[in-house]
Amino acid sequence: MKSIVKTIAGIGAIVFSLNANAQNGALNSLETGTSYTTAIGLRGGGTAGLTIKHFYADQRAYEFIVNGWYNGIGVTGLLEKHQTAFNEPGLNWYFGVGGHVSVGASRAYYYGWNDRYVAYSDGRVALGVDGIVGLEYAIPRIPLALSLDVKPYAEVITNGNIWLAVDPGLGVKFTF
């Protein structure tokens, strides 16, 4: 548990230092035609949850997705590059790479064996590598961005399994 707290604190320190150095990091160049620095919203899909995107340099952003399910939580971190799509202001292609960690809470199961009930736990931790490619439209004069992406990932789970997924998603973010 202490290592998880230290990891979260380390990520927070990195975010703070990047934010302090990102005074001119807004996605507002002539190449992209968009004018926001940070966006917070929701992503629906396999990795559904709260998403936070922040531009730390022109056309470069980091994005975090925090997702939960009935017995666990996961955090995904991505570094992304944005480019104008179809010469349309506010419409951008983006692609990037990153990773994730997820922690599943332990649950007790009971099954019968020779008239005895035995308990076992399925708690797990998963570490994975993620990619992302998508299209985002920041609506002019309205602080809203819509995105459609595919975020394939591979993860190794402490129970010995390996999981691969394509993970398409739809996002809606408030921009500022």
pLDDT of residue 106: 60
Distance CA 73, CA 126 (A): 10
Max distance between CA atoms of the chain, in angstroms, equals 73
Residue 161: the pLDDT is: 84
Distance CA 15, CA 96 (A): 17
pTM for the structure as a whole:
0.74
What three-state secondary structure class fits 18?
Answer: helix
The pair of structure tokens assigned to 27 is 């996605």
Tell me what pLDDT residue 58 has: 85
For domain 2-103+126-155+166-175, the CATH class is mainly beta
pLDDT at 68: 87
Q: Locate the domains of the chain by residue range.
A: 2-103+126-155+166-175
pLDDT tens over the chain, length 176 residues: 455 444 444 444 444 444 444 444 444 443 444 579 999 999 999 899 999 999 999 899 999 999 987 778 999 999 999 999 998 888 999 999 999 999 986 655 555 555 555 444 566 899 999 999 999 999 988 999 999 999 999 999 888 888 899 999 999 999 99
- Give the span between the Cα atoms of 90 and 33, in whole angstroms: 5
Query: In Å, how far are 51, 130, 150, 153, 155 from 165, measured between CA atoms?
Result: 19, 10, 10, 6, 9
For residue 149, the model assigns a pLDDT of 98
Per-residue pLDDT, 29: 41
